[in-house]
Structure formats: C-alpha cells, structure tokens
Amino acid sequence: MGEPVLVVEDLSVTFALRDSEVRAVKDLHFSLSAGETLAVVGESGSGKSQAFLSIMGLLARNGRTTGRAMFGDVNLIDLERRALDLHRGRDLAMIFQDPMTSLNPTLKVRTQLTEVLVRHRGMDEQQAIKEAIEMLERVGIPEPTKRANAYPHELSGGMRQRVMIAMALLCRPKILIADEPTTALDVTVQAQMLQLFKDLTNDFGTALVLITHDLGVVAGIADRMIVMYGGRCVESGSVDALFYDPRHPYTLGLLNSTPHVEDRARRLNPITGSPPNLENLPKGCAFHPRCAFRFERCFSERPELVSFDSGRAKACHYQDELTYEESAA
C-alpha cells in the first residue's frame, strides 16, 4: 500500500451535556494509506460515525475534539472553519447514509454538482457542467445529460446515491469517507454501489473509509478494518485476519451474529445484552458484561490496545485462542 494520507492519533470526541459529558470516542489511533479501503465496524453508538464527523469538522455544536488528524502536515482538528473549508470537498469528501435526503430538493442535479467544482477548482460554469456530466457517466448514470437537468425527486434512490458518489469524487479527493452508504438501499443496488466504490477509488487512487455495521459489505471491499466498541478501538488488522482469526470476543461475536450462505444449519448467535451507555461505561473492559470469556481482571482493569503479529492490534486480557463453542455458551 502507498504512503499514509491520514494519520489519526489520540482522537477523542466528547459531547457536553447539561451537567455531564459523554465521551463518544476515546484515544482512537489509525492511519490510512493512499488507495486503501478501511472499514470501521461497530454497533450503533460505538462512536464510529462521530470519529469521522469530528475529522471533517461536522460535529454537533456541543461536541469537542482533541487529538490529531494529520493530513500531510496539517492537523485537521485544529483548523479554523475557513481553512478547513479549503480541504473539505477537495481533499476529503464524505457520503452520507440516506441518498433520499442528501440532495437539495430545490436545485437541479447539475447545479449541485458544479458547486464544488466552481468553489474548489475555480472552473467556469460551462467547464464545470461538462466535467459533472462526465462524472455522472462514470458513476453509471444512463443519459447523464438528461439526468443532470433533473431535480433529485425525479431520480430513484440508487440513482441519487450515484449522484452523491459523483459529487464526492468530482474534485478527486485523497480520502473519501462513506458513512453507511448502502444502508438505505436495497440489496441489489447495494452490491452495485460497492462495486462502484471499489472501481472508482481504485481508478482515482482515493483512500476509502467505509463506516458500516454490515460485515458482508466489509468482506466485499475492505482491505483493513477497525472494530469499535464503546468509543474505543477494540481490534484492528487486515480484513482476512480478523474474519478468519478474530482475537477479540466482540469481533467474534459480530462474526457469529452474521448469517452465512454455506452454513444454513448453524443458529445465529447474537451478542447478548445491549450496547453500553456512553455516559456510564462499565468499569474495566467496557465489553465485560456481555463477554463469554471474561475473568476477574476484566472487571477492574481496562485492557490497552496492544499490537501483535504484523499490523494487528487488540484490546483484550484474554490471551488464548477464541473458540466458537465457548462464545456460544
């Protein structure tokens, strides 16, 4: 893989409430190389979206970010809005979950696409329209000239998500962050979208961050993955390693609760219990109340993220091989 385009260190996100604080993300570390696809996996409320919204400077008003997110030699976290606006849309782009609401209903598709080009690449309107229509063709929209003149409500969901992808890629960003881009689409369209993501990021050398809770999506296109729980990274490594040899009970639990086509006889094993309350995380390891492998140490001492093998890391006290039977017990 290429050189790192984004290095994130000690990233923490807190939200101030009326009389308390919620830590949505705590001490997140990772780096992203050019052209690579990184999947960020976790349940709702695990902090996966907030971590990347904070890097993009899109947190809610009461959110505060600390740590570093180095893009080249600028720390995106410290940038003022104006300075950040130079990078947003040009170097870093983001795609949101729901294509139905991510487009402005009052503007033609064309107008929304050219906006970024005019702002970041200083193109004139004619040039920008030409470029936009070419990009619409690239993302597989039939009759791009006609669609460019349509309003969003005249397009289908899959078509709108393609428009969103086109919009994000227009400035050839170094990093594309996709926040659950396929959740709102039906399964056949999902598969098309994933293929499209893969092709386009390959062609443009864009690093893709895929925030999702769908492990099927991860297996399809990601190179590396980060598993988050309770605002922290609990395991990271290559997708193959984590799928075939998970070392954190939570990763194993996620895999066990995913259906497999080949393996119909097996019962699905959902992780018992429910995600932790971020305002009041359990003492010790945040996962211990739901963990089948817990022992005394887990109740009192929080495991640190420790690297092992090459490029893998986990935060768990349990050192033996994880077995399926034990987790199902």
Partner 1 sequence: MAGITSKDLVLTRYAEALGQATPTKGRSLTQDALGRLVRNRAALASIILIILIGLIAFIGPYFVPWDFSKVDWSAIRKPPDWAKGHYFGTDVNGRDVLSRMMQGTQMSLTVAFVATFVSVTIGITYGAIAGYFGGRIDGLMMRFVDVMYAMPYILFVIILVVIFGRSPVLLFVGIGCLEWLTMARIVRGQTLALKEREFVEAARAGGAGPLAIIRRHVVPNLTGPVVIYATLTIPEIIITESFLSYLGLGVQEPRTSLGTLISQSASAVESQPWLLLYPAAVLITLLLSFTYIGDGLRDAFDPKDR
- 323 touches partner 1 (CB under 8 A): no
Stretch that binds partner 1, among 21-29, 32-40, 77-85, 282-290 (CB under 8 A): 77-85
**213 binding partner 1? (CB under 8 A):** no
Q: Is 101 in the site for partner 1 (CB under 8 A)?
A: yes
Q: Cα(268)–Cα(257) distance, rounded to whole angstroms?
A: 5
For partner 1, the binding residues in 152-211 under the rule CB under 8 A are 153-154, 164, 167
250, 227 Cβ separation under 8 angstroms: yes
Please report whether residue 16 would count as binding partner 1 according to CB under 8 A.
Answer: no
Mark residues 36-75: x for contact with partner 1 by CB under 8 A, - for none: --------------------xxx--x--------------
**102 is an interface residue for partner 1 by CB under 8 A:** yes
Could you tell me the two tokens for 140? 């597989």
Does position 124 interact with partner 1 (CB under 8 A)? The reply is: no
Q: Binding partner 1 by CB under 8 A: which of 1, 16, 17, 107? A: 107
- Verify binding: residue 81, partner 1, rule CB under 8 A: yes
Q: Is the Cβ of residue 119 or residue 302 nearer to partner 1 in the bound state?
A: 119
Q: How is 40-60 classified by DSSP, letter by letter?
A: EE--TTSSHHHHHHHHTT---
Q: How many helices (H) and strands (E) does the chain have?
A: 12, 12
Please select the residue that binds partner 1; options are 18, 80, 105, 261, rule is CB under 8 A. Answer: 105
User: Which residue among 27, 151, 213, 302 contacts partner 1 (CB under 8 A)?
Assistant: 151
- Single out the segment in contact with partner 1 by CB under 8 A; choices: 148-156, 195-203, 297-305, 306-314: 148-156
DSSP 270: P
Question: Measured from the CB of residue 253, what is the shortest distance to partner 1 in angstroms?
Answer: 31
Distances 316 to 160, 228, 298 between C-alpha atoms, Å = 42, 13, 8
Beta strands 207-212 and 21-33 are: unpaired
* Residues sharing a CB contact under 8 Å with residue 104, sequence separation 6 or more, in sequence order: 112, 152
Nearest to 322 by CA among 262, 259, 242: 242
In this complex, which beta carbon is closest to partner 1, that of residue 59 or of residue 219? 59
β-pairing, 74-75 vs 63-71, is antiparallel
Which residue from 42, 67, 89, 303 is in contact with partner 1, where contact means CB under 8 A?
89
Q: What is the DSSP letter of 88?
A: B
Closest CB to partner 1 among 13 and 167? 167
- Which helix (H) or strand (E) covers residue 208, if one does? strand 207-212
CB 231 within 8 A of CB 46: yes
Binding residues for partner 1, per CB under 8 A? Answer: 56-58, 61, 81-82, 84-90, 92-94, 96-98, 101-109, 115-116, 119-120, 145-146, 149-151, 153-154, 164, 167
